Amino acid sequence: MRRYLSSVRFKYMAGMVVDATGSGMYLPLSLLYFHHVTGLPLTEVGAIVTAASVIGLISNPVAGVLIDRFSARTVLVGGYVLRASAFCMYPFVDNGLAMFAVVLPVALGDTSYPPAIQSFVAEIVRGAERDKLLALQRSLRNAGMGLGGLLAGAALALDDSGFYIVVLGAAAGYLLAAGLMSTIRPEAPARPAGARVSRKGGYRMVARNRPFLGLTLLNIPTAFAYMVLSVALPVYLTSELDAPVSLVGIVYAVNTVGIAVLQIPVTRFLIGYRRTRAVALGAGIFGLSFVTFAVLGGLSTGAALIAGVFAATALFTAGELLHGATASALVAQTAPEDTRGRHLAVYQLSWAVPIALAPTVLTALLSLSATGMWLLLAAGVAGSAVGVLRLERRLPQAAVHPLPPGPGPAVPETRPTGKAA
């Protein structure tokens, strides 16, 4: 068992690093790349990317079915190859229609990735090891994204060919990640031998699983909370608080470095506690962070304002550390094994929809009342925290209490019935 877990960790770590490094090279330049190469206006480029992202949502339920029918590894590796193939076509794009044709496969692969990677982790590790691996994933992805950004900066410092180096580097990262992940095989079948998943009624089973749907709905306010750092906060700091633009980058760096450095030790500490309590506490600390940001609106510029911004950012980061990996492990183990792909695909909608709506919703709220936006977000995550605690008794005990793997046989995962206990 130890040798198996050691091999899995090494391959998984390597895969996450190259995946995140490739993503980190391209993501900050996604709009600028096509604007530079095609000469299309940024507004048109943004509209094409948005349209592809919305259409790409159809891959979410399809990915759930494919995960249950074949395996999470098949969908994960297929998504990597699909995106890598599209990236290899980027240098040939010279108009809007061609751009849409290459960004749509990337959007499809991006949307299928979260349920595939969560299901994959659930297939290869169990109990407390699941929390550790998900924490490792969050830490490595933050570090890899930072490294990718540095590599992109170095490539673009050369000349205009740097744009092509970036997209081909991202493609190479996805292909290498696909190769590494394809070598990881579950120690035991993800479902009993001979078991088959019905081709009909799969998503009806998810609809009947009320505790799982409760977790999904309660995640929506928290998903909006995660989007604050990249959508609302930069505008709030510069427009409402008259803070220097440089502070935005520093705040983002504090959050990213904090997650990369602290996620693993924090998750190791949390393993001894109920996952639901850690998730609720993380949401509650998000709320404290938002209240702090709201209070900052009444402060004048100066040292007090800067200190308050960093204090609120530290609280936001602490909320992420408590919530992120633990919530993923809780949801993955709450989903029944035979329809885990479909369950996690539905859960992913609680992220995908807020991510798509956040730029419009948060900026609209910000324009109406900055303080009101922060207090509304705080109320949302507070409600989410209370809801998770009330839902605790209806969730499988093995999902609520992470159990460290012992020398004996694996502890079977309890399957929720969808009825109150």
Q: Per residue in 126-147, pLDDT tens?
A: 777 777 777 777 787 877 877 8
Which pLDDT belongs to residue 403?
57
Give residue-wise pLDDT tens across range 324-364.
Answer: 889 988 998 898 888 888 898 899 889 888 887 887 888 88
Give residue-wise pLDDT tens across range 4-60.
Answer: 556 777 888 888 888 888 887 776 667 778 877 778 887 788 788 878 888 888 888
Which pLDDT belongs to residue 304?
84
Residue 417 has pLDDT above 50, yes or no: no
Residue 407 has pLDDT above 50, yes or no: no
- Tokens 């009320």, residue located: 210
* Helix %, strand %, coil % of the chain (to 5): 80, 0, 20
DSSP symbols for 375-407? HHHHHHHHHHHHHHHHHGGGS-HHHHS-----S
Which pLDDT belongs to residue 274?
92
Residue 410 has pLDDT above 50, yes or no: no
- Among 188-197, 229-238, 248-257, the minimum mean pLDDT is found in 188-197
The confidence band for 421, taking pLDDT boundaries of 50, 70 and 90, is very low
Copy the structure tokens of residue 255.
């959050």
Q: Do the beta carbons of residue 270 and residue 278 sit within 8 Å? A: yes
- Cα–Cα dist 103/83, whole Å: 9
Which pLDDT belongs to residue 9?
75
Give residue-wise pLDDT tens across range 246-294.
Answer: 787 788 778 888 888 898 899 889 888 899 999 999 999 999 999 999 9
Percent of the chain at pLDDT exceeding 70: 89
Copy the structure tokens of residue 290.
């938002």
Residue 418 has pLDDT above 50, yes or no: no
Distances (CA, A) of 263 to 7, 142, 143, 255, 270: 21, 10, 11, 11, 10
* Residue at 30: amino acid letter: S
Which pLDDT belongs to residue 28?
62
Which pLDDT belongs to residue 2?
57
Which pLDDT belongs to residue 194?
44
Which pLDDT belongs to residue 233?
87
Copy the structure tokens of residue 80.
């990597």
Is pLDDT larger for residue 4 or for residue 82? 82
Give residue-wise pLDDT tens across range 200-231.
Answer: 557 888 888 999 999 999 999 999 999 888 78
How many CB atoms lie under 10 A from the CB of residue 223? 19
Is pLDDT larger for residue 37 or for residue 178? 178
Q: Do the beta carbons of residue 60 and residue 348 sit within 8 Å? A: yes
